[in-house]
A and B are shown apart, each in its own frame.
Chain A
Amino acid sequence: MASPTDSQARPIGLHLELPEKGRRAIRTVEIAPARQWPGLDLAELWAYRSLLVLLVWRDIKSRYSQTVLGAGWAVLQPLLPMAIFTVVFGRFARIPSDGVPYALFSLSGLSLWTYFASALSSGGGSLILNRNLLTKVYFPRLVIPASQVFTALVDFAIAFTVLVAALLVGGFVPGLEAVVMVPLLLLAASLTALGAGAWLAALGVQYRDVRHLSPFLTQIWMYASPIVYPMSLVPERYRTLYALNPMAGVLSEFRAVLLGVAGPTPLELGVSLGAAVVVFLTGTLYFRHAERVFPDVV
């Protein structure tokens, strides 16, 4: 097997962009050996936004083709584990749920977690699935895991609607705080998913072990997050440490603003949001570092 000793083309000067109407200026691209740590280059990502939109649209359209339920699966995805958790953890194990019905308690956590987990796992496997794209055309490689996050976001929109309906039926009316905080928390969850997904994707291209490892990782991460249990179950002196898991603060706050129960302290939430940014930055930067070899090893 041949493997490379280098890298992804590094453009200096202006970037090759998607053609735009009326643009006639001739751009010059320099092709040279790649830098080790190329940085994020958000401008180039932005130039390729229409490719991102199309990949998302392709995945959504193909995901539910030839299924009977179609987008109904997006509704069932959090509802089925909710039913199981309610019976097992709510009834049998009698795990406390901060005084709200366990079904609503777990559904609120699960809707955001399902989004995160599906963005993470599909993002992690996305490079290998799209290897024919990687080896045939040039585009910023981050578009691929990013498109998985947006695809999962569409499912989240459906699941969130179901959650809101369930909350209203249960007599919980989310307040103004929820309107402000939910988008912020969603952003934090998305950044974490993209960052961790980028780690898995970049490592997974080179080490196929990641494919076997990532289901366990997702499962461990789920039990390390307040989904089946409330954050208040964690001993107080460990909570700041616990909040290093970005999803801990995010899920707990998400539940707090929707159900009106006690959430994390500002410090805990801050630690989680900070951790989310760290996961995002390290993941995407490592991805950019590793992407020079993708076409040769994928």
Chain B
Amino acid sequence: MTTAISVDRIGKQYRIGARRSRPSTLREALARAAAAPLRNWRELRHHGAGQDDADLIWALHDVSFEVKEGEVLGVVGRNGAGKSTLLKILSRITSPTAGRALVHGRMGSLLEIGTGFHPELTGRDNIYLNGCILGMERSYVTRRFDEIVEFAEVARFLDTAVKHYSSGMYLRLAFAVAAHLRSEILIVDEVLAVGDAEFQAKCLAKMQEVANEGRTILFVSHNLNAIQRMCPRSILLEGGRLAGDGATADVLRQYLALSPESSEPARWLDTSRLQRTGTRETCIEAVEYRSGNAAIGEHAYPDGPLEVRLRLVSDSARTVGGFGLSLHDEDGTALVTVDTISTGLVTTLERGPNVVGLRIQSLHLNPGVYHVALWARGPLGRLVFDRIESAFTLRVVDPHPAISRPRAGGPTTCEFQVLPLV
């Protein structure tokens, strides 16, 4: 197989604006105000310069890797690890400070779907506009037009200005155009971030189809299950450097081990700064869990109960169709999923903070460390308000270390009895 992308010691430097101290006297304030234009001019002018200064940081440093033709490569890393910078350099939106990369073949990038959509124009016009911006020729869009419309499920609203579209329709249309982009290399960044579950599944299927056509894909997502399914190989970025490169299972294990939020029970854990997806009309700002067993410090234990409370901050009074959590092993495989949507009960939130909770009657997990994902859904359950793929790690402890347990017995437990001797 030939190389599609080779990245050789790429680096990108940014300047961080250093904060100035505040003036302490009126005289000083006036003097500064008078000098401000000159100072501002100096600062603005240096936007483009590459001077040696303390407030220069490497957003990406010394990153090298290769992607073979037809390979689907996952890119993972925490917020600020340099994923977006890397993709922007590869799609030529911004250029590197150091190093070089060779890209063989036409590159299409879906850095954010809906690029160039104009609110005043109709769906039909925007399909052509967006297609062209992404690099499709007009006749090609015409040929694939029906396919795009069908995929987006917006046939009835084709001649309506997109400003009147619901956010779901808008996204579906945007992804549909992007998904029909024809290029040898495709860069996909968080296209699955929003939209309802059904459509997300459809997008993933489409991506899989594209991958099966033998096209090279760079796939960035916070959806670890999707990465696991789509990409045999992944790279991990941490602090602007390449921290891992190899089989996806290994890299994801490394990535999850990085997430520092190993949490103590019965304490509110701030989740507001974690990386997440969703429309954020309602945000999960904090989480707390406890098993009700004070003797073992409220830690979760096998077959014991688990109460989880979420602090949901809503931007208005609204109804959520469900909230829930899932527990994953260190490879990212989901083991247990709880979602209040299965109860059919909706939750009504007030504007501002609300505390909601659920209780798992018995948690059938063996002692170990599990990664927890959290989410809150829209009223009909289809739209995701907020989803944190890796919110915290939960330790399931052994309350009776004296009792022997089978080793390597798998992560889950079940209730069982010994049948009476017949």
In the complex, A8 has a CB within 8 A of chain B? yes
Please encode chain A, from 59 to 96, with 1 for each CB lying within 8 Å of some chain B CB and 0 for all others.
00110011000000000000000000000000000000
Identify which of residues 69-114 in chain B touch chain A, using a CB-to-CB cut-off of 8 Å.
88-107, 109, 111-112
Identify which of residues 21-60 in chain A touch chain B, using a CB-to-CB cut-off of 8 Å.
21, 26-34, 50-51, 54, 58
CB pair B93–A295 under 8 Å, yes or no, is yes
CB pair B183–A34 under 8 Å, yes or no, is no
Given the contacts A54-B128, A58-B118, A132-B116, A30 and B100 also touching, CB distance less than 8 Å: yes
User: Chain A residue with minimal CB distance to B189?
Assistant: A136
In the complex, A4 has a CB within 8 A of chain B? yes
Which of A11, A28, A296 lies in contact with B94, CB distance below 8 A? A296
In the complex, A137 has a CB within 8 A of chain B? yes
CB pair A29–B102 under 8 Å, yes or no, is yes
Please encode chain A, from 256 to 292, with 1 for each CB lying within 8 Å of some chain B CB and 0 for all others.
0000000000000000000000000000000000101
In the complex, B115 has a CB within 8 A of chain A? yes
Given the contacts A5-B15, A9-B89, A27 and B112 also touching, CB distance less than 8 Å: no
A120 → chain B closest CB, angstroms? 22
CB pair A138–B92 under 8 Å, yes or no, is yes
Given the contacts A20-B137, A58-B129, A133-B116, A292 and B17 also touching, CB distance less than 8 Å: no
B251 → chain A closest CB, angstroms? 24
A residues within 8 A CB of B246?
none
CB pair A137–B133 under 8 Å, yes or no, is yes
A58 → chain B closest CB, angstroms? 5
User: Chain B residue with minimal CB distance to A207?
Assistant: B44
A64 → chain B closest CB, angstroms? 10
CB pair B48–A4 under 8 Å, yes or no, is yes
Q: How far is the CA of A11 from the CA of B56 in the complex (A)?
A: 26
CB pair B133–A62 under 8 Å, yes or no, is no
A residues within 8 A CB of B12?
4, 6
In the complex, A211 has a CB within 8 A of chain B? no
Which of A3, A5, A54, A206 lies in contact with B17, CB distance below 8 A? A3
B81 → chain A closest CB, angstroms? 14
Report 11 cross-chain contacts, Cβ distance below 8 Å, ordered by A residue.
A3-B46, A5-B13, A5-B50, A5-B56, A9-B93, A29-B92, A31-B103, A132-B116, A136-B93, A295-B88, A296-B94
| 9 cross-chain pairs, A with B, having the tightest CB-CB distances, nearest first | A9-B92, A138-B92, A62-B120, A5-B50, A9-B95, A7-B95, A136-B115, A32-B100, A31-B101
A interface list, Cβ under 8 A from B: 1-11, 16, 18-21, 26-34, 50-51, 54, 58, 61-62, 65-66, 132-139, 206-207, 290, 292-293, 295-297
